[in-house]
Amino acid sequence: MPDLPGTHDSAGQASNFPSEGRITPIVPARNEEQVIATCVRSLAQQEEVAEIVVVNDQSTDHTAEVVRALMAEIPQLRLLEVQKVPPGWVGKNHAVWLGAKDARSPWLLFTDADAEVLAGAARRALQLAKETGAVLVSFSPEQMTRSWYEKSLIPFVYCRLAKYFSYEAVNDPHSKAAAANGQFLMIRRDAYQAIGGHASVAGDVLEDVALAARAKNAGYRIWFGAGRGLVRARMYRSFTAMWEGWKKNLYLLIGARREAVYRELLAVVPWIPFVLLVIGLRVPMALIAGLGLLFARHAAYGVALARNQYPGKYILYYVPGVLLYAGVIWASYRAHAHGTVDWKGRTVVVRAAE
C-alpha cells in the first residue's frame, strides 16, 4: 500500500513481526480511555491474533497513555499516532487505513474500541472464511444496553435495519446486497489491497457497508451474520453520543433517500392508534379500539425483538422507542440535507441529501 503522511510508531521503531502471523486487529481510538483496555485485552486473548495495532486518532483524553501502559503486558501491541486527517477523509477511515498499512498478517480485523471480542471469535471467523470461501467475514455484535434510552432506541433501530440488511441476501453471491459491521470486520489482506482498502471509501461515513459492497462488486465472497456469543459492544454511554451516532448513520442505512425517510415514518409510527386514543378522550369506543391496535403493535414488536435475539422485556420500551426512532431519523435526514454531520468533536462533510 502507498504511504500516507501523519503516522509514526509510538516507540519510534519499525515493527519486525513475522509475516506468517494470522490476524492483525486494527483499532481506531478517539477519546476511548474508558473502553480501550477491555477491547485490547479481549483481542490479546485470541490465539489467532499475531499482533494488535491501535491507532490513536488525535485523542484529547488519556487513550494513548492507557494503551502505552498495556504495551508492558501485551508485547504484540503497537500504538500509532495520527498527526492529521487529510482533506476528503473521514477520521476513522484514515486511522484504520494507517493501521492496515502497518499490519503484517494475511488477515486484517477492523474493530471498534467499544467492542469486546469474546473467546473463540477469531477462530470462528477464520472457520467461516474457510467453509464459505469468503474473503470478508463480519459479525453484528450483541448490543449491550444499560440506560432506558439505549433499551428504547438501539433494539428498535436494529429490528428495523434487519429489514434492509438480510443476512441471507448479503451472503448470497448471486444477490447484489452487501453489508458488514465495522465493530467486527475481518478481511483477507490481499483482497483488501485489491479493492483499494479504506482509501477507496475515504469519505464514506458508512465505511463498513461501502467496503463490503466494493468487495462483493469485485467478485469476492462475503459473509455477514449475528455475533451473539462472539462479540459484544456498548455503543453509546450518553444520550448525546447515541443521538449523534444514529443521526450520522441512520439516513444512510435506510437507503439515503427522502422517500425512505417518509416510508419509515409512515411504517413505524402508530398513527391510527394515536389518533384513536386522542378521539377516545371523548368517545370511549375509540379509546378501546386505539388501545387494542396499540397492543397489537406491541405484540408485533415483541416478535421482532425475539427474531433479533433481544430480551422480550424490551417490549416495554416500544412507545419511547418509536418516538426516539422517529425523531432521530428525521434529524439524520435534516443533517444530511445540510451536508454535514457532527461526530466526536468533528464536523464531517457528507454528500448533501435531496
- Give 34-74 pLDDT, tens digit per residue: 999 999 999 999 999 999 999 999 999 999 999 999 999 99
Whose grid coordinates read 495520527? 82
Looking at residue 282, its pLDDT comes to 87
Q: State residue 115 phi and psi, 5-degree precision.
A: -95, 140
Phi, psi at residue 137, to the nearest 5°?
-125, 130
The answer to whether 24 and 53 have CB atoms below 8 angstroms apart is yes
The rounded distance, in Å, linking the Cα atoms of 67 and 34 is 11
Q: CB-based contacts of 206: which residues, under 8 Å, 6+ apart?
A: 249, 252, 253
Size (the chain), residues: 354
Closest CA to 80 of 49, 121, 51, 107: 51
| pTM as predicted | 0.88
pLDDT band of residue 346 (cuts 50, 70, 90) is confident
Sequence-distant (6+) residues with CB within 8 A of 11 are 78, 79
Which of residues 9 and 70 earns the better pLDDT score? 70
Instruction: Please say if the pLDDT value at position 137 is more than 60.
Output: yes
Q: Can you tell me which residue has the cell 369506543?
A: 285
Phi (first) and psi of residue 213, to 5 degrees: -65, -40
**Can you tell me the mean pLDDT for 232-252?**
94
Predicted local distance difference test score (pLDDT) of residue 354: 54
Backbone angles phi, psi at 75, to 5 degrees: -65, -25
Retrieve residue 198's grid coordinates: 479504506
Which residue reads 476513522 in cell numbers?
Answer: 92
What contacts 214, CB < 8 A, 6 or more positions away?
195, 196, 200, 201
Q: What does the DSSP 8-state code read for residue 215?
A: H
Alpha carbons 105 and 280: distance in angstroms, whole number: 65
